[in-house]
Amino acid sequence: MALNRKIAYIDLSTGDVKIEAIPLEWRRKFIGGRGLDAYLLNKHCPPGADPLGPDNVLLISAGLLVGTMASASARTHVMAKSPLTNLLGSANMGGFFAPEMRWAGFDHLVIRGRAEKPVYLYIHNGAIELRSAENIWGSGVYDTQDLIRRELDDPETQVLCIGQAGENRVRFACVMTGRKNAAGRTGLGAVMGSKNLKAVACRGTMSIAIKFPEEALEYNKQIIDQVISTKVSQIMQRWGTGFIFGVTNTTGLVRTRNFQYNQLPNSEDIECENLDKYSIGLDGCFGCQVHCRHRYIIKEGPYAGTYAQGPEYTSQGAFGAEVGCRSMNTVLVGNHLVNDYGMDTLEVGSMMAWAMELYEKGLITDKDTDGLKLEWGSDEAVIELVKRIAFRQNIGDILAEGPLPAAKRIGPESLKYLIHVKGMSNLHSDERATPALALNIAVSSRGSDHLRGRPAIDLYNLPMKVLDKVYRNPDGYDGPLTNSYSEYEGKPRMVMWQELVYMAVDCVGICKYHTVFLSPNHPQFKEFARLIYLNTGLEFSEKDIWDVANRGYTAERLFNLREGMTRKDDWLPDRYFDEPTKLGLPVARGKCIDREKFRTMLDEYYRLHAWDANGVPTAELLERLQISDLMTAA
C-alpha cells in the first residue's frame, strides 16, 4: 500500500545501506516529501557542516500521493544544506522519477559521505546498490540518462542526475531528470558532485495498493475537471508557462538589463506565440492532464536540429529580458544548454545580467572577460557565458560561485548591483510595484524565490469574496485583506497562506499548478485531505493539513536560524527601495517599495507565523506543533 514505502540511509564513504520502515508518527506529523525532508535535514545534517563536504546530507524524496490515483502526482523533492546560500537547500521537480522510486519501494533517501570514485545508485524493487559511474563522469544530463539505461538494458529506467556543472561544483548546479525537469534552485547538483554521486537510477514494478480505489478514481476525475476547467490551465495547455511573459512584460513587472528597467520593449520574438515556429507539440509529467511544456527543435545556428523541451517563463527572462536579448533562438539555445549542463536557469540569467551591468559600469573589463564583450543584447555573449560558467572558465569561474562569493572576488562596489536575497538571485520578475510579491521573496525559506510563498493571484484584482474564501481558511483568519496589488495591508497573510499551501502540496507530491498558485479555483487543503484518505486511508482534516504544512515550514525556519540566519536576511536589496520603476502601465510605473511599510509588513508576517520580533519561532509554537525536539538544534 501507499504507506509501506521505505526510507534508506546510504553512506557513500563506506557503501553501507540501511533500509527502515517510515514510522506512522512521521506520516501524521509531516505526511512525506518536503515536510519530512525538513525534519530529517535538521536531524542528520550537523550544524555548521560544509555544504560541499561529506557531512552534508542529501535527501531525495517522493510525496505520499506520488504514483497513486491523485492527478499530477509526480513530484520529486531534493534537499540539503545549500552551497549557494549556506542555508536551506531545497528544490522540487516533475517528470517520472519519483513515481518510479515509489514503485521500486522507497519514499526517502538519506545520503551522506563521499564516494572515493564516481558512482551512481541503482534502486530496484526494494534493493539498492552502488555502481561505478567512472565511464559516465563528464557526460551531460541527456547522455548520462541514455548511458545508464543502456548499461542496465532497460529503457524504462528513470534517472536523476547531474551534468558537468554539478561535477564542477558550480554553486547553482541543479539536479535533473528527463530533458527539462530540474530541481533547479539552491545548488543541489553541486552537493551531488561533491559526493561523487553522478546519478540515482530507479526501476520498480512493485504496485501501490489504493485504500479505496473506486472512490479515489472518481474523486480524481473531479479534481481533473476542476483543474482543467480553469482558464489558466487551458492557456497552459496551449502555450505552457511562457504565456506569463506577455502579461508581466506588458504591465511592467519584469526586470530588464539586470534591474535598470522593468519592461523589455520590442520583445515580440520571445513571446509565447512565436514558439509555434519551433514547437512540435506539448508534453507533460506523470499523471498530469495539463501538458504544459513544449517539445521543440532549434532551427538556426550551430545548434540547429537539436531537440529539447521548454522553455519555461523563467528562461524567457534569463536569456531574454534580464540580458536585453530579443531572440527566441537565443532563449531556446540557452534553455537547452543549462538543462544539459545541469544549471539553474534563474541563477544563470541573473549572474549574466549582473556581469553585464558591471561591464557597462566599468567594474569588469575585457581583461577580466578574456576579450568577451558583455554588452546588453549580445546573443553571442549570452551563449558563451553559459558555457564558461558550466566549465568554470575565465570570468565564468567567478560567476559560478554565486552572488555573494562572486561579489567578494570582484569588489565591494559590485554588491549594490546584485538582485538577491540570502545569497540567491531573484528570477526576472520586478516586485517594486507589488508589495505582497516583494515580501514573498524577502522571507522565502530558501532565498529570493517565487515558488515558496508567491500570492500570484494578488495580481488579478479578484473580488473580495473570492479572496475571503481562499485566504480566511482553514484557520478562521479574521484580519485585513485587500484586492489591489499596490496595497500593503493584508499582504502578510496572503504570503503566509501561500507558504503553507505550497508546503502542503510538496508534502503530498502534487504539482503546484494543481493548487492555488495561478488560479483561486484549484485544489487546496480540503482536497489534499480527501485525496490522502481515499488513496491511503490516513485521516486528516483540512486544518490538520494546515498544521502539517506549518510544522514543515517551521522546521525549515529552524534550520536556517541554526545556520546563522537573522531578521536582517529577510530583507530586499536597496534598489527595491531607492530606484523607482521607469516603464510599464501606470499601475507599475514610478513604483518602489516603501521601507517603513515593508518593515511593518515583516512584523505582521512574523506575528502571523507565531514567531517573535526577530523571526524566531516561539517555544509555545514548537510545543503546539510537536517539534520541540528541533528547538535545541536552532
The string of pLDDT tens digits covering residues 255-269 is 999 999 999 999 999
In contact, 535 and 558? CB cutoff 8 Å = no
Mean pLDDT of 113-142: 98
C-alpha span between 516 and 357 (Å, rounded) = 36
Residues with Cβ within 8 Å of residue 339, at least 6 apart in sequence: 141, 176, 179, 180, 182, 308, 309, 310
First to last CA, the chain: 36
Query: What is the tens place of the pLDDT at every residue in 281-296?
Result: 999 999 999 999 999 9
Per DSSP, helices labelled H in 114-187 are 141-152, 164-167
Neighbours of 560 (CB within 10 A): 23
Helix%, strand%, coil% for the chain, nearest 5: 45, 15, 40
Q: What single letter denotes the amino acid at residue 321? A: A
> Each residue of 208-241: pLDDT tens digit?
999 999 999 999 999 999 999 999 999 999 999 9
Residue 632: pLDDT band (50, 70, 90) is low
Query: Given this model, what pLDDT does residue 354 score?
Result: 98
Over residues 135-158, the mean pLDDT reads 98
Cite the beta strand spans of 26-75 per DSSP E: 58-62
Domains and CATH numbers, the chain: 6-203 (3.60.9.10), 240-425 (1.10.569.10), 435-630 (1.10.599.10)
In 10 A of CB 381, how many CB atoms? Answer: 21
The secondary element (H helix, E strand) that includes residue 75 is none
Q: What is the pLDDT of residues 539-579, one digit of tens each?
A: 999 999 999 999 999 999 999 999 999 999 999 999 999 99
For the record, the C-alpha cell of 428 comes out as: 526576472
pLDDT band at 631 (very low <50, low <70, confident <90, very high): confident
Q: Residue-wise over 443-461: b if at least 16 C-beta within 10 A, else e? A: bbbbbbbbbbbbbbbbbee
DSSP state of 320: I
* 307-309: strand order across its sheet: 279-283, 293-297, 307-309
Q: Is the pLDDT of residue 596 over 70?
A: yes
Sign of CA dihedral 70, 74, 80, 86: negative
Average per-residue pLDDT in the chain?
97
Q: Where does 13-75 show beta strands of DSSP type E? A: 17-21, 58-62
| Rounded CA separation 10/18 (Å) | 6
CA distance 445 to 441: 9
Position 633 scores a pLDDT of 47
The rounded distance, in Å, linking the Cα atoms of 26 and 31 is: 7
pLDDT of 389-443, one tens digit each? 999 999 999 999 999 999 999 999 999 999 999 999 999 999 999 999 999 999 9
Strands (E) located in 126-243: 127-132, 158-161, 175-177, 181-183, 197-203
What confidence tens digit (pLDDT) does each residue in 433-467 have? 999 999 999 999 999 999 999 999 999 999 999 99
Instruction: Provide the pLDDT for residue 634.
Output: 45
How far CA 395 is from CA of 122, 257, 334, in Å, comes to 37, 19, 18
**Within 10 Å of residue 433's Cβ, how many Cβ atoms?**
25
Rounded to the nearest 10 degrees, what angle do helices 213-228 and 525-536 cross at? 150
Number of Cβ within 10 Å of residue 260's Cβ equals 16
Check whether the bond before 213 is cis (ω within 30° of 0).
no
Provide the sign of the torsion angle of the four alpha carbons 189, 176, 94, 3, taken in this order: negative
Query: Residue 191 contacts by C-beta under 8 Å, 6 or more apart in sequence?
Result: 51, 52, 56, 58, 80, 81, 83, 89
Grid cell for residue 332: 531556446
**pTM exceeds 0.85, yes or no:** yes
Question: In 3-state terms, what secondary structure has residue 574?
Answer: helix
| pLDDT over 70 (residue 1) | no
Angle subtended at Cα 11 by Cα 49 and Cα 87, rounded to the nearest 5 degrees: 25
Give residue 621's pLDDT band: very low, low, confident or very high (50, 70, 90): very high
- Compute and round to an integer the Cα radius of gyration of the chain: 23
The Cα 406–Cα 424 span in angstroms is 12
Nearest CA to 414 out of 404, 400, 424 is that of 404
Instruction: Give the pLDDT of residue 315.
Output: 97
- What is the percent of the chain where pLDDT is above 70? 99
Question: Residue 552 has what pLDDT?
Answer: 98
Alpha helix locations (H) across 391-490? 395-399, 403-410, 435-443, 464-471
How many Å apart are CA 231 and CA 243, to the nearest integer? 12
**CA atoms of 499 and 405, how far apart (whole Å):** 29
Residue range 71-85: mean pLDDT, rounded:
98
